[in-house]
């Protein structure tokens, strides 16, 4: 092969194409797809890094014009061609440059922290070694016996350190090497983040009927060669993780690997420990508390076949395993699975593509599945298993919904209802713990009426309008705007405003009302450092506080057996977020928050404070009734044509020159209209929620259509139009499918 196709490491749309280089004599046979090379670029003697996407004998240009590759990038590990193909797909599908897509898929090269380590391996079959052990014991050759026994105990492999611990000298090893019994090899030793922290216990629990049903159902299909996506729907504590582990152990037995995605925030010490106890050193983890070098090492370990299971957040999706048998996405409804940087990919979608390539099954687990996943399960496109009860005696808490409008009518202007106050008082007396939860999502700009509970909604999009600095109320989908009214349009009351209480005010109010109570607060401000997050949680877990006040951070994945009361201070805040997922998010958050109470043996209680007690997401969350929620929610999505009924594509434009930005947005709209796509709904252009950021103006356009493939075609068409127009230099464009937030 004489030529290579290279994507250069420059993030510039105009350079987002393949450049060809010649392989010089000294590098012949040394370059393959996925490697990183240094190539000359532009004027002068400048060289830059690039990714090899292919090797060929056929030049695309006159040979004399093709420059030679300068060299290989030192120490860079070649990427699987499968991952390069995946990057190419992501580039096309989500819209990005190839360079951006490659950077998403490939780990950043770091100082490799590995070191060479000598180790001793058995050079004869196990049975022979056992026989030999008997003989040397008989002859009383103690050191030889220790070495043989050590090797037999450690799967035929001892590190030189382990040998030293067994007091085996190098002369003994050399002697046995001469006899052909052992061999000394050096292997690369990577940093293992668990070394010495946990112990493999091999504990395997007897599965419950429901667990067994799920495992057997999925495994039967696997054995028949059926590969698909499954929804594993089960309340927290119903034993989903146990199901994952059982399936994983089965694919490992077939010589395959597993990837387990967990939202970073739920990736706790306890989760990792459980996997380690079952799979030992064959499992690894990626999370932001590891150094970049350590993270890079974990990729190398995966590549070297040292591990079978990788646990981690979104990015662990790209672990370079060679043969994946199962991929698991726990808490699949979490927003964290959607990337908010270009390419704006959805990990669930990319996982499905990767699973298909590897012939792996994909399992999506949740207590409150996303509406899109639920719909597919109901339509029979996904397999569907449910775990309906918690393991052990823990029962779901008693939930009461408090109407804050009534509190106001009765003259109570405090953040706390009388019901919540008396429950808090009761727990303090009983020395039990309380969690107070304030969901800050959507807090900025939401306006509602404290007298009737209604918010002001866009007449076209049926989402809550948000308040802007100039005093107008706006829709972030279509740009509809009205001046902020003085009185509620529904009931005429003057009590119409935003909700201003934050976690700090709640903490202050608790101190004022219960001066004796010990209070901890957990929010963005108190968790700036990595350690503070764990510190607050462990202090609360150790009983060093009576009350924990916090944002959604406190409701995810933590088990505090002494918490018997959960207070949701203002359930409506997320309900009034100005996007179509507001009710879904509210249901999920409330269900999670309620589920925090009564995890131990003591019965729990939850109090939900709201101005809209009749809203279905609050009603159904109080009853922990997912099906009832889904039935209502899907009606709204159908009526308004929101995902998953229709697919949605957001186009975000930004630029420093407002006039130019506006004309470009109009131009896009014109191109879309001229395409005459049947059934397409075009919304906007409108100001983005954050209409101005870092001196740039931002506009949005949304499109809805029943079929994603049609949206994909329109996106392509627009990309081509833009590439063929000069005027767009300083305008930045991003595409986003089914955006998380308006």
Say if residue 449 carries a ligand binding annotation: yes
Q: Cα dist. 181→138, 152, 166, 185, 335 in Å?
A: 18, 12, 18, 13, 56
Q: Residue 211 touches which of ligand ADP, Zn ion, none (CB < 5 to 8 A by kind)?
A: ligand ADP
Pick 365 or 445: Cβ nearer ligand ADP: 365
Stretch that binds Zn ion, among 74-82, 399-407, 483-491, 554-562 (CB under 5 A): 483-491
Q: Is 236 in the site for ligand ADP (CB under 6 A)?
A: yes
Which listed residue (50, 107, 193, 234) binds ligand ADP by CB under 6 A?
Answer: 234
Among 208-216, 338-346, 477-485, 526-534, the segment contacting Zn ion (CB under 5 A): 477-485
Find out whether 231 and 382 touch, Cβ atoms under 8 Å: yes
Binds ligand ADP by CB under 6 A, chosen from 239, 567, 643, 650: 239
Considering only residues 184 through 223, tell me which ones interact with ligand ADP, judged by CB under 6 A: 205-208, 211
- Check the annotation: does 491 bind a ligand: yes
Q: Using CB distances below 5 to 8 A depending on partner kind, what does residue 115 bind out of ligand ADP, Zn ion, none? A: none
- Identify the three-state secondary structure at position 170: helix
Question: What totals of helices (H) and strands (E) does the chain contain, helices first?
Answer: 22, 30
Is residue 588 a contact residue for ligand ADP (CB under 6 A)?
no
For position 246 contacting ligand ADP by CB under 6 A, the verdict is no
687 binds ligand ADP (CB under 6 A): no
Q: Which of 141, 219, 480, 652 binds Zn ion (CB under 5 A)?
A: 480
Number of residues that bind ligand ADP (CB under 6 A): 14
- In Å, what is the CA distance from 415 to each residue of 217, 407, 419, 500? 49, 10, 12, 10
Choose, by CB under 6 A, the member of 241, 284, 315, 527 that binds ligand ADP: 241
> Does residue 447 bind Zn ion (CB under 5 A)?
no
* Cα 604 to Cα 390: distance, rounded to the nearest angstrom: 14
Residues in 385-414 that interact with ligand ADP by CB under 6 A: 391
Strands (E) in 318-414, as ranges, are 324-330, 361-366, 383-387, 398-403
76 sits near ligand ADP (criterion: CB under 6 A)? no
SS (H, E, C) 218-285: HHHHHHCCCCCEEEEEECCCCCHHHHHHHHHHHHHHCCCEEEEECCHHHCCHHHHHHHHHHHHHHEEE
Task: Round to whole Å and give the CA distance between 99 and 563.
Answer: 49
Burial class (CB in 10 A: 0-12, 13-18, 19+), 42: exposed
664 is in an annotated binding site: no
Phi/psi zone of residue 442: left (φ > 0), alpha (ψ -120 to 50 degrees), beta?
left
Residue 357, helix vs strand vs coil: helix
Question: Rounded to an integer, what distance in angstroms lies between the CA atom of residue 700 and that of residue 461?
Answer: 15
Q: Name the phi and psi angles at 185, rounded to 5.
A: -130, 160
477 contact choice in Zn ion, ligand ADP, none (CB below 5 to 8 Å, kind-dependent): Zn ion
Token pair, residue 349, equals: 């979608």
Q: Is 237 in the site for ligand ADP (CB under 6 A)?
A: yes
In what helix (H) or strand (E) does residue 190 lie, and over which residues does it extend? none
Check binding of 238 to ligand ADP (CB under 6 A).
yes
Question: Is 356 a binder of ligand ADP (CB under 6 A)?
Answer: no
- Confirm if 99 and 11 have CB atoms less than 8 A apart: yes
Stretch binding ligand ADP (CB under 6 A), from 38-46, 232-240, 336-344, 369-377? 232-240
CB of 222 to Zn ion, least distance (A): 46
Task: Based on the shown chain and the rule CB under 5 A, indicate whether residue 490 belongs to the binding site for Zn ion.
Answer: yes
Only one of the segments 166-174, 240-248, 333-341, 441-449 lies at the binding site for ligand ADP (rule: CB under 6 A); that segment is 240-248
Token pair for 405: 């409008």
- Chain residues that interact with ligand ADP, rule: CB under 6 A: 205-208, 211, 234, 236-242, 391
- Chain residues that interact with Zn ion, rule: CB under 5 A: 449, 451-452, 458, 460-461, 475, 477-478, 480, 488, 490-491, 493
Question: Annotated binding site for Zn(2+): which residue ranges?
Answer: 449, 452, 458, 461, 475, 478, 488, 491
């Amino acid at each position: 092969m004489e030529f290579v196709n290279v994507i250069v490491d420059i993030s510039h749309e105009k350079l987002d194409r393949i450049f060809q280089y010649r392989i010089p004599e000294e590098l012949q046979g040394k370059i393959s797809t996925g490697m990183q090379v240094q190539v000359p670029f532009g004027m002068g003697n400048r060289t830059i890094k690039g990714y090899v996407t292919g090797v060929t004998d056929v030049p695309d240009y006159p040979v004399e014009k093709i420059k030679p590759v300068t060299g290989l990038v030192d120490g860079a590990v070649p990427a699987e061609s499968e991952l390069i193909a995946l990057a190419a797909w992501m580039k096309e599908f989500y819209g990005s440059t190839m360079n951006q897509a490659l950077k998403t898929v490939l780990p950043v090269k770091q100082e490799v922290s590995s070191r060479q380590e000598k180790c001793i391996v058995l050079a004869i079959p196990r049975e022979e070694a056992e026989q030999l052990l008997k003989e040397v014991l008989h002859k009383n050759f103690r050191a030889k016996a220790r070495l043989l026994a050590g090797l037999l105990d450690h799967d035929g492999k001892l590190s030189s350190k382990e040998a030293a611990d067994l007091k085996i000298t190098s002369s003994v090893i050399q002697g046995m090497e001469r006899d052909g019994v052992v061999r000394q090899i050096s292997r690369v030793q990577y940093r293992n983040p668990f070394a010495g922290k946990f112990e493999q216990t091999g504990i395997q629990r007897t599965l419950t009927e429901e667990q067994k049903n799920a495992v057997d159902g999925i495994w039967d299909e696997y054995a028949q060669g059926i590969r698909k996506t499954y929804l594993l729907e089960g309340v927290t504590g119903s034993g989903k993780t146990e199901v994952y582990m059982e399936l994983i152990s089965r694919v490992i037995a077939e010589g395959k690997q597993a990837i387990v995605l967990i939202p970073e925030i739920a990736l706790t010490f306890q989760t990792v420990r459980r996997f380690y106890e079952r799979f030992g050193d064959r499992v690894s983890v990626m999370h932001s508390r590891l150094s970049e070098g350590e993270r890079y090492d974990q990729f190398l370990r995966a590549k070297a076949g040292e591990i079978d299971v990788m646990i981690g957040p979104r990015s662990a999706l790209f672990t370079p395993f060679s043969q994946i048998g199962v991929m698991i996405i726990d808490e699949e409804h979490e927003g964290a699975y959607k990337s908010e940087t270009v390419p704006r990919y959805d990990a669930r979608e990319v996982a499905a593509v990767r699973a298909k390539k590897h012939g792996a099954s994909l399992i999506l687990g949740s207590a409150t599945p996303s509406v899109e996943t639920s719909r597919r399960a109901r339509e029979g496109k996904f397999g569907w298993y449910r775990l309906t009860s918690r393991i052990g005696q823990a029962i779901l808490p008693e939930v009461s919904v408090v109407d804050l409008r009534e509190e106001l009518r009765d003259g109570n202007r405090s953040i706390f209802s009388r019901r919540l106050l008396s429950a808090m008082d009761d727990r303090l007396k009983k020395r039990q713990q309380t969690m107070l939860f304030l969901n800050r999502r959507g807090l900025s700009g939401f306006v509602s009426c404290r007298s009737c509970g209604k918010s002001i909604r866009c007449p076209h999009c049926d989402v809550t309008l948000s308040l802007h600095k100039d005093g107008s109320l706006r829709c972030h989908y279509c740009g509809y705007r009205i001046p902020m009214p003085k009185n509620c349009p529904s009931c005429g009351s003057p009590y119409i405003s935003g909700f201003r209480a934050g976690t700090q005010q709640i903490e202050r109010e608790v101190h004022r009302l219960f001066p004796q109570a010990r209070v901890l607060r957990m929010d963005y401000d108190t968790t700036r450092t990595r350690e503070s997050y764990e510190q607050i949680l462990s202090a609360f877990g150790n009983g060093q506080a009576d009350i924990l006040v916090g944002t959604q951070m406190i409701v995810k994945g933590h088990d505090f057996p002494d918490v018997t009361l959960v207070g949701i201070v203002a359930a409506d805040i997320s309900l009034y977020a100005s996007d179509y997922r507001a009710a879904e998010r509210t249901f999920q958050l409330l269900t999670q928050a309620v589920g925090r109470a009564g995890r131990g043996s003591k019965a729990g209680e939850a109090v939900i404070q709201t101005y809209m007690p009749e809203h279905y997401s609050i009603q159904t969350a109080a009853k922990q009734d997912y099906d009832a929620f889904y039935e209502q929610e899907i009606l709204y999505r159908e009526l308004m044509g929101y995902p998953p009924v229709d697919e949605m594509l957001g186009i975000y434009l930004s630029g420093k020159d407002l006039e130019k930005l506006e004309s470009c947005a109009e131009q896009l709209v014109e191109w879309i209209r001229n395409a005459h796509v049947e059934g397409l709904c075009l919304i906007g252009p409108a100001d983005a929620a954050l209409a101005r950021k870092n001196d740039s103006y931002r506009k949005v356009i949304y499109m809805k259509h029943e079929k994603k493939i049609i949206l994909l075609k329109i996106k392509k068409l627009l990309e081509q139009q833009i590439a063929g127009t000069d005027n767009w230099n300083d305008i930045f464009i991003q595409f986003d499918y089914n955006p998380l937030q308006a």
